Structure 1
Amino acid sequence: MTEFESFAVELAAVAAEAALPWFRVDCETEDKGGGRGFDPVTRADRDAEAAIRRRIAERYPHHGVVGEEYGEDRPEAEHVWVLDPVDGTRAFVAGLPLWTTLIALREAGRPRVGVIAQPYLDEIFLGGPSGAVLIARGRTAPIRTRACESLNHAVIATTDPDIFTGSELGAWTQVRAAARLARLGCDAYAYAMLAAGRIDLVAETSLKPWDWSALVPVIEAAGGEVSNWRGETPDDTGQILAVGDAAIRDQALVTLRRAAL
């Protein structure tokens, strides 16, 4: 495990210590939706990101940070940590253990190390130069995406079809109709399951860099691919397609490209 991979795991533990005390208890919650539907933020979100930022400042004061709750600090630095302290805050509020902490290290603009952590389940999915592993309940084991040569055999996921616009929804509906099974409501935990070989495809839209940056190193190190809906490197469009097997990537893109931004 490299120095930065080890530090990413340390940051996941720091976030867990801050967030877990607020899970399944009465937790201070605000609506930041601004009239566009309920978009919660909790004390757990803020406490966890603040704790991560403090640890980064102590260890690597020259590194930049981009986080959902507290914005940007030196985003043009060579090394930038990209943080979503509680991805899936709706699940957190509902007491469902499908929320995650997302931590990525971006080097020269590209995510190189990623962590998808679910502290209530004691799971850390880590991806980077050393490969992809699951650290859970005192054990570390390599993870790998699984083979899936046809979309007709695929298990697919998205957080909620309501996130899609008209044309996007049409594209998702066609992909879903072709797939063997679709699961909803997993947020970033679906990408962890893709890296672990349980899900074959995840498609989403309107994602911010802190939503997708950590996913890229984990999935790529596990043998999968992450792109936008044009089949290119993920970007500010927020449209993300992740696959465990490249064979189904082009099958899905036939439909998704029609709604690509």
Structure 2
Amino acid sequence: MSQSLPDIAFFHQLAEAASKQTLPRYRSSLNLHIDTKPKEGFNFDPVTDADREAERVMRSLINETYPEHAIMGEEFGITGKGPIQWVLDPVDGTRPFLCGLPVWGTLIGLLHNKRAVMGMMSQPFTNETFWADGKCAWTNGPQGKRQLQTRQNVTLSQAILHTTSAELASSYPHVNFKGLSEQTLMTRFGGECYAMAMLAAGQIDLCFEFSLQPYDIVALIPIIEQAGGVVTTLSGQRAESGGTVLASANQALHEQALQVLNH
């Protein structure tokens, strides 16, 4: 069986299948059963039927079309093995999903020999899709289709900084997030995966996350990188395994921000 990379059209097919499970449950109590699971630093880490059913349908399509590929998903773990692995987060941002805020998304990433090479973030409520096809990054939505490009000439003092959960800062006293925030133009919070997409789109310049899992970041790495940005851990390593992660609009800004965070 072939181990060639899939066409980006299949990512769109997966996202459409997931949206049929997430959208009917969004801003609705219909079939939405809410549980919680343990997560360090949080009293409540929600998981819903939207998460489970969206991952289930995506897994089924992958297994049917690419049975030789491995899969890692937030809800059902790892299955299969081999050089190509799908990395799925059916609802990244379950908290805003429950709050009715449209900053959640379905994340579909692809690893080839453990490196993120293709990815998609789908926000079906706003009808927006962001993806990387292996060469370039794109978006399509109400304003049409266009190629994504990060801001290349922005300085640290001009940069817009984003993090999802500032409440985690106290658990990471070795990270100088306050210092970085003080040196940037402004800091915003709570944007989840949508903020990462906005970095690729040139709207945000720095996205910092204290603690990510692989399924939180793998899909976003190629979108940001193929739009001209940089994504690494706090130590400057590849971020496919998650951890403390910084995404930046360009290399110079990334190096400056890492220096401040590690000071």
TM-score past 0.5 threshold: yes
Aligned match of 1:179 in 175, 184, 187?
184
Structure 1 unaligned runs (5+)? none
* Paired position in structure 2 for 1:41: 47
Amino acid of the residue matched to residue 157 of structure 1?
H
Partner Cα separation in structure 1 for residue 9 and residue 262 of structure 2: 38
> CA deviation digits over 1:4-63, x for unaligned, max 9?
322112111111111110000012111113794111001100010001001101110111
* Paired position in structure 1 for 2:99: 94
Q: How does 1:213-228 map to 2 (within 5 A)?
A: 213-228=218-233
Partner Cα separation in structure 2 for residue 250 and residue 216 of structure 1: 17
Amino acid of the residue matched to residue 8 of structure 2?
E
> CA deviation digits over 1:72-124, x for unaligned, max 9?
002x3111100000000000000100101110011111111010111100111
User: In the comparison of the two structures, how many residue pairs are matched?
Assistant: 256
Amino acid of the residue matched to residue 107 of structure 1?
H
Q: How does 1:6-17 map to 2 (within 5 A)?
A: 6-17=9-20
Structure 2 unaligned runs (5+)? none
* Paired position in structure 1 for 2:161: 156
The change in CA–CA distance for 1:117 and 1:30 in structure 2 (over 3 A counts) is same
Residue aligned with 1:121, SS = coil
- Where do 4+ consecutive residues of structure 1 move more than 6 Å? none
Aligned match of 1:196 in 197, 201, 204?
201
Aligned match of 2:21 in 4, 15, 18?
18
Contact persistence 2:216–2:242 (CA under 8 A): no
Q: Scaled by the length of structure 2, what TM-score is found?
A: 0.92
Partner Cα separation in structure 2 for residue 168 and residue 59 of structure 1: 46
Partner Cα separation in structure 1 for residue 39 and residue 203 of structure 2: 36
Aligned match of 1:54 in 55, 60, 72?
60
Q: Which moved more, 1:209-218 or 1:235-244?
A: 235-244
Contact persistence 1:4–1:113 (CA under 8 A): no
Aligned match of 1:249 in 237, 250, 254?
254
Partner Cα separation in structure 1 for residue 250 and residue 101 of structure 2: 29
State the superposition RMSD in angstroms: 1.8
Residue aligned with 1:164, SS = helix
Residue aligned with 2:234, SS = coil
Partner Cα separation in structure 2 for residue 192 and residue 235 of structure 1: 17
Q: How does 1:128-139 map to 2 (within 5 A)?
A: 128-137=133-142, 139=144
